[in-house]
Amino acid sequence: MKRKVAQILEEAESIACFFHKNPDGDAVGSALAVKNFFGDKVKVYSYHGVPEIFRFLPKADEVIKYEDFSEVEPAQIFLVLDCGDERRIPGFDASRASTIVVVDHHETNDGFGDVSIVEPDRSSTCEIVYEILKETGRKISSSVAECLFAGIYTDTGGFRYSDTTATTFQVAKELVEAGADPWKITLNIYDSNPVRRIKLLSLCLGTLQLHLEGKVASLYVTLDMYEKTGALPEDTEDFVNYARGIKGVEVAVFMRELHEGGVKVSLRSKGKVNVARIARRLGGGGHANAAGCELDMGIEKALESILDILKEEI
């Protein structure tokens, strides 16, 4: 199947890449790897642009930010990366391409492409994309390697999460040999925080609450906190891990206000509770240990709904 996808991409005259809204390193990294590998026939579209911490990646400045899907040019192939559900690509219209190719590792992905590679046991979409690109028999450049390494590193929390396997390290090794520089990449991602993000974090940590005898921890960010700090929604990346990192906590809940009466929820588990299942019950999806959903309610009500389900699951 990977050989087939490699061939489809190699032979295509035009490819448009898409990934989920609120993109993370795996989404941006996998798409930019494809762009750096196949060149100008590839366009990358992102509803939310590229978060500041990933703008150092090669060709990140060529990502097209769209507001309305009608701005997307028709292409032979729509390549959907790191996205388990087409509803996470605002306005997505499959009829503007002749073939939809999906490459993903979300267990809640039902394989909505004409051709789909969905491998839920893989650490990241970048890990799968690496194997597809290798199937072409062409050399992986240092630019491509850098994008893929950034995606793998961030999606595994720095090679910490449960889906980090020997293959993950093997791929990472080959990427470093191909020219990816872990020091440069992690300096850019983890040691270049905008001050506004740390100010927002300090307010967010003030909301810490423990529930269900300390097995659940919650944190949240309100619209008011953005205003006070000048921070952006993308600055909340990884905040959930401060809750997850507490001893005895099995499930971490992070909520950020999208608008009055609407929240984005991130759920993280240490392995005993499948949070993908919880997210799915609330209309979202994801992985067993990392999932999310959006709820049309305020923070307090949202937390109550999540805790109600967690009471049954813990």
Nearest distance from C-beta of residue 100 to Mn ion, angstroms: 19
Rounded to 10 degrees, the C-alpha dihedral 266/270/274/275 comes to: -10
Which has the closest alpha carbon to 9: 29, 32, 28, 37? Answer: 37
Q: Per rule CB under 5 A, is residue 107 in the interface with Mn ion?
A: no
Q: 110 or 300: whose CB is closer to Mn ion? A: 110
Nearest distance from C-beta of residue 105 to Mn ion, angstroms: 6
Nearest distance from C-beta of residue 29 to Mn ion, angstroms: 9
Contact 115, 101 (CB under 8 A): yes
Nearest distance from C-beta of residue 230 to Mn ion, angstroms: 28
Stretch 115-134: interaction string toward Mn ion, x if CB under 5 A: ---------xx---------
Pairwise CA distance, residues 98 & 118, whole Å = 20
Task: Using alpha carbons only, give the angle 104, 283, 106 rounded to the nearest 5 degrees.
Answer: 15
Stretch 174-213: interaction string toward Mn ion, x if CB under 5 A: ----------------------------------------
Burial of 304 (0-12, 13-18, 19+ CB in 10 A): exposed
Q: 26 or 250: whose CB is closer to Mn ion? A: 26
Rounded to 10 degrees, the C-alpha dihedral 219/222/228/233 comes to: 90
Pairwise CA distance, residues 51 & 67, whole Å = 16
Near Mn ion by CB under 5 A: residue from 51, 72, 82, 299: 82
Residue nearest Mn ion, Cβ-based: 26
- Interface segment toward Mn ion; rule CB under 5 A; list 52-60, 150-158, 228-236, 287-295: 150-158
Beta-bridge partners for 253: 218, 267
Q: 290 or 302: whose CB is closer to Mn ion? A: 290
Pairwise CA distance, residues 117 & 110, whole Å = 10
139's CB contacts (< 8 A; 6+ apart) are 178
Near Mn ion by CB under 5 A: residue from 22, 25, 26, 107: 26
Q: 36 or 109: whose CB is closer to Mn ion? A: 109
Q: Per rule CB under 5 A, is residue 155 in the interface with Mn ion?
A: yes
Nearest distance from C-beta of residue 49 to Mn ion, angstroms: 18
Residues that bind Mn ion (CB under 5 A): 26, 82, 124-125, 155
